[in-house]
Amino acid sequence: MNDDPERPHPVRPHAVRPHAVRPRPAVASLPAYVPGARPADDRSHKLSSNENPYPPLEPVRQVIADAAGRVNRYPEMYADSLVAALGERFGVGAAGVVASTGSVAVLSHVLQAFCEPGDQVVTAWRSFEAYPILVRLQGAEHVQVPLAAGARHDLGAMADAVTDRTRAVLVCTPNNPTGPAVHHDELAAMIDAVPEHVLVVIDEAYTEFVTDPQAADGPALLAEHPNVMLLRTFSKAYGLAGLRVGYAVAHPEVAAAVRIASTPFGVNELAQTAAVASLAAEDALLERVRAVVAERQRVVAGLRVQGWDVPDAQGNFVWLATGDRTTDLATHAAARGLLVRPFAGDGVRISIGSPEANDAVLALAEEWAPEG
């Protein structure tokens, strides 16, 4: 009997019946993307997804509220207003920019546009955990080049890993989850070493947080090499993770292919309006970025004093190589209201949060510091 007027259709236990519908082998073999843990209550600190700890700026909130009145209409097909603003900023024109539902979606469109099953895509490893999923979903082979000392990309080894089946090399800088940024001269040398038909995608999701003076200048490399693409996002420094908007900057003909593969109307009206308003409010946003960077420097210095060997942290997160203790540490942290991102057997990535959250991280880390 279903007496609940709120639930006129009782849920029947159908979901586990045997069925004969089979996904593609590439899909069946893949793990699901693991999202950062969500807080159990509002006293816990969510440091598991590298989000911006600050809420949206008032003028950005305002345009989001105004845009709510227009959501009965489709947005612009290719986020034209945003793309025009970005095209001007990067000096490539609107034809050189493709926006979509977060830069992870843009990367999936890139792989769809350029990779056939059996092609190879080279990345460092460990790197962004979305890469193996997106590459293998496309039926391509993910060639993983181990990180070098200091948890840095080994760009020489990555160039050497390129074969006649390689269609793209993805460079995550700063590297999620370990932190270092690649250096300009080493990336320029890598680009020179790979064939000109291989796409070099520079994933700059955290570029606004970079302070390393030797870090690669993506726009300069893009200007010199038609096979270079930049991937950027409004999710991190601009604090719009919940609205899902990211973009690629590339040669116009490369961008055109990505646009063909992209989801129609992929950037919704609220996201587009908020992104354009965020570009206009950039000074205030970058001030917040500087505050996050100052906190990052404080946390890294504190961890090193405790005896942790922390890789150079150039994003809004730090990496602790906790090996076999990783899962225990994450469980212990969660019990204390600190949600971090464990990579079992390897390490934990901890986002920089409010000063209070960062103090709690330092207190926890002190207890788990490696024996010196």
Ligand X SMILES: *Cc1c(COP(=O)(O)O)cnc(C)c1O
Binding site for ligand X (CB under 6 A): 50, 102-104, 128, 172, 176, 203, 205, 233, 235-236, 241, 246
What stretch of H or E contains 293?
A: helix 282-305
Nearer to ligand X, 105 or 140 (CB): 105
Q: Between residues 172 and 348, which has the closer beta carbon with respect to ligand X?
A: 172
Burial class (CB in 10 A: 0-12, 13-18, 19+), 178: buried
Residues 6+ apart with CB under 8 A from 141: 118, 119, 120, 121, 135, 165
User: Which residue is closest to ligand X by CB?
Assistant: 102
| Residue number, 205 or 310, with CB nearest to ligand X | 205
Neighbours of 356 (CB within 10 A): 10
CB of 107 to ligand X, least distance (A): 7
In this complex, which beta carbon is closest to ligand X, that of residue 124 or of residue 302? Answer: 124
Minimum distance, C-beta of residue 128 to ligand X, in the bound complex (Å): 4
Q: For the CB of residue 98, give the shortest distance to ligand X in the complex, in Å.
A: 13
Start-to-end CA distance of the chain, whole Å, equals: 65
**Residue with Cβ nearer ligand X (176 or 227):** 176
Please say whether the beta carbons of 300 and 141 come within 8 A. no
341-343 and 347-351: which strand pairing?
Answer: antiparallel
Residue closer to ligand X by CB (options 351, 358) is 351
Closest separation in Å from C-beta 138 to ligand X? 17
Q: Which is nearer to ligand X, 114 or 128 (CB)?
A: 128
d(CA 100, CA 108): 10
CA distance 98 to 259: 6
Cβ contact 199:254 at 8 Å: yes
Nearer to ligand X by C-beta: 233 or 322? 233
For ligand X, the closer of residues 235 and 358 by Cβ is: 235
Taking the complex as a whole, the smallest distance from the CB of residue 170 to ligand X amounts, in Å, to 9
How far apart, in whole angstroms, are the C-alpha atoms of residue 112 and residue 121?
12
Q: How far is the CB of 329 from ligand X (least distance, A)?
A: 21
Is the bond preceding 174 in cis, omega lying within 30 degrees of 0? Answer: yes
Residue closest to 342 by CA, chosen among 316, 365, 324, 368: 324
Across-strand partners of 143? 122
CB of 46 to ligand X, least distance (A): 14
CB 13 to ligand X: min, Å: 35
Q: In angstroms, give the least distance from the CB of 266 to ligand X.
A: 11
Q: What distances in angstroms separate CA 150 from CA 162, 164, 209, 310, one per listed residue?
A: 23, 30, 19, 8
User: Residues with Cβ < 8 Å from 309, sequence gap 6 or more?
Assistant: 321, 370
**Phi then psi dihedrals of residue 332, to 5 deg:** -60, -40
